[in-house]
Amino acid sequence: MIATPLMINALTTDLYQLTMAAGYWRAGLTEPATFELFVRRLPPRRAFLIAAGLDDALAFLESIRFTEEERNWLRALTQFAHVPSGFFDDYLRQFSFTGAVSAVSEGTPIFQDEPILRVTAPLPEAQLVETALLATVAFATSVASKAARVVHAAAGRPVIEFGARRAHGVHAGLAAARAAFIGGCDGTSLVDAAYRYGIPTSGTMAHSWVQTFADEVDAFREFSRTFPESAVYLLDTYDTVAATDKLIASGLKPPMVRLDSGEIVSLSREVRAKLDAAGLQATRIFATGDLDEYRIGTIVKEGAPIDGFGVGTALSTVSDAPALSAVYKLVEVHRHGESAGVIKRSPGKHTWPCPKQVWRVMENGSPVSDLIAGVGEAPPPNAVPLLQPAMEHGRRLTPTPPLAEIRESSRRAVAALPERLLSLDAAADYPVAISAPLDAARVTASRYDR
Amino acid sequence: MIATPLMINALTTDLYQLTMAAGYWRAGLTEPATFELFVRRLPPRRAFLIAAGLDDALAFLESIRFTEEERNWLRALTQFAHVPSGFFDDYLRQFSFTGAVSAVSEGTPIFQDEPILRVTAPLPEAQLVETALLATVAFATSVASKAARVVHAAAGRPVIEFGARRAHGVHAGLAAARAAFIGGCDGTSLVDAAYRYGIPTSGTMAHSWVQTFADEVDAFREFSRTFPESAVYLLDTYDTVAATDKLIASGLKPPMVRLDSGEIVSLSREVRAKLDAAGLQATRIFATGDLDEYRIGTIVKEGAPIDGFGVGTALSTVSDAPALSAVYKLVEVHRHGESAGVIKRSPGKHTWPCPKQVWRVMENGSPVSDLIAGVGEAPPPNAVPLLQPAMEHGRRLTPTPPLAEIRESSRRAVAALPERLLSLDAAADYPVAISAPLDAARVTASRYDR
């Protein structure tokens, strides 16, 4: 296992970040500014999200540089015709991210409007990193949140993430595997995710293995020779019930069988009965094929004898909510040496000014409400702060904890949530309040921006 | 511009591909087999897809190798306890993809069940590459297809892809930018996509630029100093109409303004009227903010004075259909030196056997129907074959054409489609037939697999 984050280069940004950076630099606007990354609205039928993706985000901030080739290429863009060459030869040549980041720990339940990341850095630096931070954090958060739902629906049965082939490219598949594990999945089919992150990996045979042999039983026998303890026999290539009979007649002692199509509930009962009648009570049944939290919830509710689930597309593409309304918004700038909270008032897209902390008020070990307050405001009683310093002067303060630890602390945090939030059709109703001083600051910023 | 595809490593595969590869190798099943990659069903309201992603797919096939570290890590997996060491020390050490690929050209309209890629290679090789081929080709095809719809809805107005921040990680954003350009977009906001692929890039200012200044007019003036010809002034940070008045009063000659929120149709009329009254007829209006083909269709239909569109989430996540039902299915194996067509009969997931060609029957330069036939069958009259040899012995036969050429040929091919397929609510009704010999081969394979 090697913990290598995916590399993201400096050009992984929207062009307007670079034009603004050039403009800030030219105008001498290089004093620190603060941006916050948050989700405006939870997706439908979600009552919480699980923060994830911060490890890749911090690795990106630590590594971002512009190569000479990249700088020369940028300089030649027509848009930059009037940008003084010092921007390329001095500023971008020496560029690195030198700022501070506070972040919610990966695996933490979060809600709408709550900053997941707070970035304070010289304005052009903080601006340039927006695109990559949003893409990295929002996708991982989206998948971890979906995984928490799927795992909850499975009610204790293992869930393996099988979604790499349907992900938005293989790199998305890799990020999805990590985030799904944080959200509670027990493993992944993706070998690279196991290699990089130490996630347990599983998978044994596809239909193609069965099709390769002239007889299904030959396919099963040949597989058992090399994988006697770990084989999962796939039964639905031609006819699930007939394949069950053949497998039993073969005399093999299958550790597990897999159903991938058809009426899973009735088929699982039929297969279970046949296995039991043959003395194969120890053989477990694994189900795959277009599963999501709703299908799994139904299967569990109907009491189908299924011992584990493989979930693909629903996890790796978050197919019912493939984009989060995540934004990265400027909340404070320095003007003439003084800090000023700033807002936007665009319809449906307004913001609150000033750097913020999220306070989670706890009662008997369970969160009961959150308060979004200005940094430095007195905390409410019995509250813990969610944003913790993660980076200073462009360097991480602490290594990312082992993934299994993140997963375990997420599991505990989800279990402590109010029960009503865990329903698959929950509405977003966890109380998230904005502090009175922040509301007041909004009015001030509002006057100021005219 | 450098044309560097993203690297995909050999472990980017599902574990079952590796267990099966080990099993095939051990069983001596290393003769050539053929797999085909196709889409089972078009997403709702789609009547065609645009093939894309083949360049990354071929680059992956050319580069895939196992490092010593990867082989040693694999060897230590408990699942591989009974796999002879020759699999790691000989087979994987020397492993490269040595097979042949035929492919539909990027940018070509395709339909359900039509192979986009046909891979013929020693069985373990062809098996191992499934996961990465599916993720790469399906996502790019999905985005290119969405882009063709968005561009059609814009009815000649430029469409810029702005979706990197909402993509499933930055690598998905990069692949999306390339695919969106193939599908007809005019440019991308993503700098890395411009750098790697030569796609025109655009973008000038975000709300943060405007918020940084105490006065909106100061923000506009300062920007115009560095970007006099390319500035697009963002009007909705506080109040779109008031910002228009301020911009006009400033005396700047804005090349373009951008509306990002609010009632776009009525706002664009109001802004247009103010600009015209001020003699700024040359100033164009660009619209962004949660746009997709339906919103754009409405805006165009209502005659809003909008000169171009920026489209983000809808393109980079294909938010209404975030996963294609793409599959990679074994269609032919060698058994005892003879080729045998193979199928699966799983409910709702059956396949046709044997390597195939897709013949597109043309009338007056327009496609009228497709025939999926076995390779070697006589073609129908007036038909062109869609699958062309792309790789032999693991090496590409021809370089990928320049992206602008792919885009232009795609534009022509879409324009030649029957008009009914281009509607935004089209049903999938283009005639795709299966040849009689293939149907007969299915019956034969069906008998054989028992």
Dump pLDDT digits (tens) for B277-320.
999 999 999 999 999 999 999 999 999 999 999 999 999 999 99
Task: Write out pLDDT tens, residues B99-136.
Answer: 999 999 999 999 999 999 999 999 999 999 999 999 99
In chain B, count of helices (H) and strands (E)? 16, 19
Same domain, A24 and A114: yes
Would you put residue B374 in left (φ > 0), alpha (ψ -120 to 50) or beta?
beta
Q: Is residue B7 part of a domain?
A: no
Domain boundary pick from B316, B342, B362 = B316
Task: Write out pLDDT tens, residues A311-339.
Answer: 999 999 999 999 999 999 999 998 878 88
Q: Is residue A370 part of a domain?
A: yes
Decide if A330 touches B, using CB distance below 8 A: yes
Same domain, B192 and B78: no
d(CA A24, CA A30): 7
Same domain, A90 and A167: no
For the residues of B82-106, what is the DSSP string, one character each?
Answer: TS-THIIIIIITS-----EEEEEPT
Q: Is residue A64 part of a domain?
A: yes
Is A372 strand, coil or helix?
Answer: strand
pLDDT at A343: 85
What does pLDDT average to over chain A? Answer: 94
Is A449's CB within 8 Å of B238's CB? yes
Is A205's CB within 8 Å of B262's CB? no
pLDDT at B7: 65
The neighbouring-strand residues paired with A233 are A257
Same domain, B151 and B282: yes
User: Is the per-residue pLDDT at A347 higher than 80?
Assistant: no
Distances (CA, A) of A300 to A373, B18, B386: 42, 31, 46
The neighbouring-strand residues paired with A292 are none
Instruction: Indicate which CATH number applies to the domain containing A443.
Output: 3.20.140.10
Decide if A237 touches B, using CB distance below 8 A: yes
Same domain, B387 and B245: no
Nearest residue on chain A to B339, alpha-carbon basis: A212
Same domain, A129 and A152: no
Same domain, A244 and A392: no
pLDDT at B6: 55
Is B346's CB within 8 Å of A12's CB? no
Report how many Cβ contacts below 8 Å link chain A to chain B.
Answer: 365
Domain boundary pick from A316, A333, A361 = A316
Distance from CA of B439 to the nearest CA of A (A): 17
Instruction: Indicate which CATH number applies to the domain containing B181.
Output: 3.20.20.70
Q: In this structure, which amino acid lies at residue B329?
A: K
d(CA A327, CA A331): 12
pLDDT at A1: 40
Is A237's CB within 8 Å of B261's CB? no
Same domain, B285 and B404: no
Contacts of A339 in chain B (CB under 8 A): none
Q: Is residue A2 part of a domain?
A: no
Residue count of chain A, please give it: 450
d(CA A442, CA A341): 8
Q: Is residue B85 part of a domain?
A: yes
Is A35 strand, coil or helix?
Answer: strand
- pLDDT range class, residue B18, cuts 50, 70, 90: very high
Strands (E), B97-148: 100-104, 109-110, 117-122
d(CA B341, CA B2): 42
Distance from CA of B322 to the nearest CA of A (A): 6
Tell me what the mean pLDDT of segment B200-211 comes to: 95
pLDDT at B446: 62
pLDDT at B448: 47
Q: How many Cα atoms sit within 13 Å of A428 on the Cβ side?
A: 16
Burial of B221 (0-12, 13-18, 19+ CB in 10 A): middle
Tell me what the mean pLDDT of segment B274-278 comes to: 98
Contacts of A216 in chain B (CB under 8 A): 449
Q: Is residue B5 part of a domain?
A: no
Give, rounded to a whole angstrom, the gap between the first and last alpha carbons of chain B. 55
Give A 39-98 residues with CB within 8 A of chain B. 69-70, 73-74, 77-79, 81-83
Same domain, B174 and B122: no
d(CA A291, CA A296): 6
User: Is the per-residue pLDDT at A7 higher than 80?
Assistant: no
Give, rounded to a whole angstrom, the gap between the first and last alpha carbons of chain A. 55
pLDDT at B2: 44
Q: Is residue A7 part of a domain?
A: no
User: Is the per-residue pLDDT at A281 higher than 80?
Assistant: yes
- pLDDT range class, residue A445, cuts 50, 70, 90: confident
pLDDT at B449: 46
* CA-CA-CA-CA dihedral for A418, A422, A423, A428, to nearest 10: 70
Domain boundary pick from A296, A316, A336 = A316
pLDDT at B351: 85
Task: Write out pLDDT tens, residues A117-149.
Answer: 999 999 999 999 999 999 999 999 999 999 999
Task: Write out pLDDT tens, residues A97-124.
Answer: 999 999 999 999 999 999 999 999 999 9
Contacts of A207 in chain B (CB under 8 A): 329-330, 344, 346
Structural domain of residue B123, as residue ranges? 15-143+321-448
d(CA A264, CA B346): 12
Residue position matching structure tokens 């699966």 = B344
* CB of A390 closer than 8 Å to CB of A58: yes
By DSSP bridging, strand A366-374 and strand A109-110 are unpaired
Task: Write out pLDDT tens, residues B415-425.
Answer: 999 999 999 99
Task: Write out pLDDT tens, residues B23-42.
Answer: 999 999 999 999 999 999 99
Same domain, B77 and B166: no
Residue A436: count other Cβ atoms within 10 Å of its Cβ: 10
pLDDT at A49: 98
pLDDT at B251: 96
Domain count, chain A: 2
Is A164's CB within 8 Å of B22's CB? no
Q: Is residue A3 part of a domain?
A: no
Q: For an interface test with A, give the residue of B71, B208, B220, B352 to mutate (most A CBs within 10 A).
A: B208
Same domain, A281 and A381: no
Same domain, A202 and A299: yes
User: Is the per-residue pLDDT at B1 higher than 60?
Assistant: no
Decide if B235 touches A, using CB distance below 8 A: no
Nearest residue on chain A to B19, alpha-carbon basis: A204
